[in-house]
Amino acid sequence: MPASAICPSCGTASTYRRLPATTCPRCGKELPPDLVQQLETSVLQEGVPTPALLLLGTYGALVLGAFGLLLAVLAPFNIGNYSIDGRSVSGPEFLRQVGVFWVTVFALTLCIGYLLWSKRPWIRPLLVLYWVVMAAGILIIPTAGGLAVRLQGVVFLLVFTFVPSILYLYVKSSVVAYFDWLAARRERTRASGGGPLPRRGA
């Protein structure tokens, strides 16, 4: 939630939705240290809402990752339906051909879901790495169309998922504010010795 304060220099009331909150957005002058601390504590304590796509991605990744790994566990017993490039195969054959890639992708998916759920501020590079792994898989796994089809798949992935993900994670203001808040909260927790953030007015 945002925090509001009146600048002692110009008397303007301003709302701070992200950190750092050290200067007045109207006159540009530095705020007093005690006011800065109060604003930062308020923003850190109240928090920044989790962006909708990240919230959806959290639970989607947890469910998808767990389901994908479950299929990998069942594959040696040939339980379930498996296919490669539209061609039905047995579970053991599926593991032999794409098992390493399959387990890597869904283990990474499950890991991403857990890290999003636990609000780790450094997860953005891992989200980008996910699409790099997917692109590598497209190039490695053989398809009926050969290399040309695989290259088309990589280009499609870059244009419609990789680039939009970069823009969403590192450019969109609400997402940047959310990760800035997570990082600031982590630093404040470390500075306080791992204890809870102080309550306002304490």
Q: What is the pLDDT of residues 92-118, one digit of tens each?
A: 999 999 999 999 999 999 999 999 999
85, pLDDT greater than 70: yes
Q: What is the pLDDT of residues 149-191, one digit of tens each?
A: 888 989 999 999 999 999 999 999 889 988 988 888 788 777 7
Overall pTM surpassing 0.85 (yes/no): no
Domain segments of the chain as ranges: 52-172
Return the higher-pLDDT residue of 81 and 16: 81
Contact 120, 182 (CB under 8 A): yes
Confidence of residue 19 (pLDDT cuts 50, 70, 90): low
Q: What is the pLDDT of residues 20-65, one digit of tens each?
A: 677 887 788 888 888 777 776 676 666 678 999 999 999 999 999 9
